[in-house]
Amino acid sequence: MPHILRIDTSAKPEGSVTASLLDQIEARIGKATNRRDLGRAAVPQIDGTWVGSNFTPSDQRTEAQKAALALSDELVAELQAADTILIAVPIYNFTVPGSLKAWIDLVCRVGVTFKYTETGPVGLLEGKRAIVAVASGGTKVGSEIDFATPYMRHILGFIGITDVTFIAADQLAVLGDESKTQAESQIETLAA
């Protein structure tokens, strides 16, 4: 049975399109084994203490540095354990929500989820699948003003996750239910 990690990021407590899409994706491919709702329980921004702790060799970290990295370690362990990662991405001001960016900063760790080589960075989370549910009011996915989906494809690839599928309910303010119907059709094509 696959291990599925679900990451919700909408700031809307009710009526989130991306949450609804993830519910439908789960119904199609299987229930999430683990969930994070960053819209309701945001993770903190990285700060100087976190950065200093992260760049201290693990065998030399103080107890305070280990504590500063504890949540990051937990989030990374969730990613490492997952076969499939479901991520909700409502497009806010042409890009990802701040809560998702904070999560990304906590999980992108040199020597843990990626490494540097002579030929450039190499992701260490290979062999995983990501399904990204996107919703937007006016931004068309793939357009010149969509900074969310290229960023997500890049950042997931950066940590080694190159099997990425986007399910888009975009331009909801323009297309309304038609956009949701198109996204639901995309979900029906997903393999379990």
Task: Please provide the DSSP assignment of 68-117 as one string.
Answer: HTHHHHHHHHHHHH-SEEEEEEE-BTTB--HHHHHHHHHH--BTTTEEEE
Task: Please write the tens of the pLDDT for every residue from 99-131.
Answer: 999 999 999 999 999 999 999 999 999 999 999
Q: What is the mean pLDDT of the chain?
A: 96
**What pTM did the predictor assign?**
0.96
Interior/surface letters 31-65, b for 16+ CB within 10 angstroms, e for the rest? ebbeebbbbeebbeebeeebeebbeeeeeebeeeb
Q: What are phi and psi of 170, to 5 degrees?
A: -100, 165
Per-residue confidence at 133, pLDDT binned at 50, 70, 90? very high
Percent of residues, the chain, with pLDDT higher than 70? 100
CATH of 4-47+82-188, one of 3.50.50.60, 3.40.50.360, 3.40.50.2000, 3.40.1390.30: 3.40.50.360
- Phi then psi for residue 171, to 5 deg, are 55, 45
Domain positions in the chain are 4-47+82-188
Say if residue 10 carries a ligand binding annotation.
Answer: yes
Give yes or no for residue 1 having a pLDDT over 80.
no
Task: Tell me which amino acid residue 180 is.
Answer: K
Residue 192 has pLDDT above 90, yes or no: no
